[in-house]
Structure 1
Amino acid sequence: IKQAKSKILDLAIHGKLVPQDPNDEPPIELLKRINPDFTPCDNGHYTFDVPNGWNWCKLNDLCSFLSRGKSPKYSEDDKTYPVFAQKCNLKEGGISLEQARFLDPSTINKWDSKYKLQTGDVLVNSTGTGTVGRTRLFDESYLGKYPFVVPDSHVSVVRTYEEINSEYVFAYMSSQLIQQYIEDNLAGSTNQKELYIGVLENLYFPFPPINEQQRIVQKIEELFSVLDNIQNALEV
């Protein structure tokens, strides 16, 4: 089932999971609305061909905020403002704030509002052998009773412009191809691997039309649901 999910993501990022529609708006039009100075990357920059109508760009072209978090000052007593750490990106999938530590309330004004995590943020663990590269998709429902959560310096936040489907970005970054790219571009020693933000900024990204992004995400959800049901049946 794990291999099947990996294959689904691989097909998705190569434009082979759903058919292309020639009536879709060319993605370069969206990219130029976001940034009038946008210049598309040449297909030769990357290792596979994309369908006609897709554009290569860099991840940084898609983001309103792309940054690692900051080093917080913690409070041992006040449990109001959680800090998102690597362990919040669960190994088995999903996100949990159950083991989060908490900000010293006197330091809140040092955190710009852009650091408060939002629905659609792609969160990438950026330090530590065995966890670096782990990628999850944030939703504000994970906050529960908490007013907000901010990331520590070991987690990178990939926040796309509203016009872009963040679930498609998450699917791309979760694919085996990009997980291997991250692994191949880590810095640091064996025991303390680092994913520098520049590696993410310069990640080449195959960008389909927005309508196709939505079709891809819908098909992934549909197929993953079938596989999850099989998994659950096998575990009974």
Structure 2
Amino acid sequence: MNAERLLAHYEKIADAPDAIARLRRFILDLAVRGKLVPQDANDEPASELLKRIAKEKARLVKAGEIRKPKAMPALAETPFPIPPNWRWSQLAEIGVLSPRNEASDALEASFVPMPLIAAEYGVANQHEVRLWGEIKKGYTHFAEGDVGLAKITPCFENGKSTVFRNLTGEIGAGTTELHIVRPLFVDQDFILLFLKSPHFIETGIPKMTGTAGQKRVPTEYFAHSPFPLPPLAEQRRIVAKVDELMGLCDRLEAARAGREVVRDRLAAASLARLNAPDPKTFEGDARFALDALPALTTRPDQIKALRQTILNLAVRGKLVPQDAGDEPASALLERIAKEKVRLMKAGAIPAKKEPVRDSAKMTEKLPASWCPIALGQVCNLVTSGSRGWAEFYATSGPSFIRAQNIRFGHLRLSELAFVNPPSNSEGSRTQVAKGDLLIVITGAGVTNPAILDHDPGEAYVSQHVGLVRPSDRRLSGWLLLCLMAGAGGRSELVERAYGAGKPGLNLDNIRSLSIPLPPLAEQHRIVAKVDALMALCDQLEASLTATAATRRRLLDALLAEALAPVDAREMEAAE
């Protein structure tokens, strides 16, 4: 059968996104279409099974055990081909819907709220033991062997349904958000796998009724959807095969999880040795990590840890060698301080006291030519946007940079707002320039930094954005690295933002932030090295994304082929 090709290519698709979950759905789809096990000409055909069910219903009606069922509506169309000895039916035809239980109030019975019903196939429901008198009213009734379907969103979409088993007193009651069918001469587990099949769920979602947050599967869909009915003997073979294949999926999932755990541990160990380097072994550790990580990295999300490690190495002076010929950072800092004094006296920049950093931060030893400083010591301006811009929004004009335009490490300028500020607007204080650093200081994305690496023309920032203007534009690239690297100041920034109450930063939090300052020449070498390594990360991430997409396309193709109609010769070969 076509499904064999899927198994033959399994190794190529095993690491595709949600591959195992899709294989599980695929197995259920094959099962309800008659493609999972071969048919047997000796089986009693489904048409005879339907006759026996009709006779049993008539007997139950005559005995007063059930009400006379309503006439079955004709099936307008059938959704897919089924084998010749199968028949299209409906749950209302092959079972009793919404049965009621009669028992003594003193009987111990099972109570099953929604959280105790699993979405996964093969996971039994749990239950609580209660007296029947406590739960017989106001709840849905069921008994041992009944099949229940969760009808409310999102439980239905997630596949919540179960065969009720091991019930105390053999009866139970529970959540009112259930449709119940009591099968007659039909394997309960075959009904269950139909209710969990992609066909039934995907067809049912558009038919749900109610408000957006409280949609439900109508009784009509549950009762009268086309139900593919195999001979009883084949139902049991299908259920056994599904159980076997789901067990295989469990093993594949466990093996994949084991591989991922090993990879994650090896990658984490490699990165940990770089984030807490041993000077004696660092060079070898770095070489091993950079050589091994591409092989250990199988998911794009794993690249995030690698990027952060690169940033941490950069701000610790571990990414490029120091050069004794560089002007030391202390000399750079002295020149900046003198120039700031001159500008303040001239009224060119605000007169501010030099910020003081927390000496308990950044205690790790830095290279000899570096200095630990407060961010504000190398900035001419640390401010934030003005309030009251809402009335000046426009469809064109100067750009207006808001918090949502700032992502971690970069600006997203495709959704800029525009403003027409009045000539006397205090907002001109926060007009931005090339080389400025921007930091989200309130709301979602707080602490996210970015650099304005081009001339924006006339542009301003909102009150939710901090504007940091370095004393020398040549510092901008390095300062951005510090704001992005946990070891460079970011950890302290995050700690301050989330220290208490609503997340947010004040300007003193930014000015006094502890950062390392290397010689200017070394800053440029480090920024260039980081850019090169981040480009490699981009390539690795793109490669992983492309590989995942290829695996997904292969899986899609194999699933489509496996579900395609099987011609007569293939059927004969399968039999």
Compute the TM-score of the two structures, normalised by the length of structure 2.
0.37
**SS in structure 2 at match of 1:67:** strand
What's the offset of the Cα at 1:73?
A: 4.1
Q: Distance in 2 between matches of 1:213 and 1:120?
A: 15
Paired residues of 1:18 and 1:219 also in contact (CA < 8 A): yes
Change (3 A) 1:32 1:188: closer
Paired residues of 1:89 and 1:136 also in contact (CA < 8 A): yes
- Which of these two proteins has the greater Rg computed from alpha carbons? 2
Q: Distance in 1 between matches of 2:416 and 2:478?
A: 27
More helix by share: 2
- Percent of aligned pairs with the same amino acid: 25
Change (3 A) 1:140 1:116: farther
What's the offset of the Cα at 1:110?
A: 3.1
Write out the 4+ residue segments of structure 1 that deviate beyond 6 Å after TM superposition: 37-44
1:151 to 461, 482, 485: 461
What's the offset of the Cα at 1:69?
A: 1.4
Please show how residues 5-154 of structure 1 align to structure 2 within 5 Å: 5-36=307-338, 46-71=362-387, 72-90=389-407, 94-107=410-423, 109-112=425-428, 115-128=430-443, 130-140=444-454, 143=456, 147-154=457-464
Where does residue 240 of structure 2 map in the other structure?
Answer: none
Change (3 A) 1:15 1:189: closer
Paired residues of 1:86 and 1:154 also in contact (CA < 8 A): yes
Task: Indicate yes or no: 2:497 matched with 1:186.
Answer: yes
Q: Distance in 2 between matches of 1:40 and 1:212?
A: 25
What's the offset of the Cα at 1:106?
A: 2.5
Any gaps of 5 or more consecutive residues in structure 2? 1-302, 342-353, 547-575
Aligned residues between the structures: 228
Paired residues of 1:83 and 1:102 also in contact (CA < 8 A): yes
Any gaps of 5 or more consecutive residues in structure 1? none
**SS in structure 2 at match of 1:79:** strand
Paired residues of 2:358 and 2:512 also in contact (CA < 8 A): no
Letter paired with 1:186:
A
Compute the TM-score of the two structures, normalised by the length of structure 1.
0.85
What's the offset of the Cα at 1:121?
A: 1.4
Q: Distance in 2 between matches of 1:234 and 1:13?
A: 28
Where does residue 228 of structure 1 map in the other structure?
Answer: 538
RMSD (CA atoms): 2.7
**SS in structure 2 at match of 1:47:** coil
Letter paired with 1:57:
I
| Greater Cα offset, 51-60 or 69-78 | 69-78
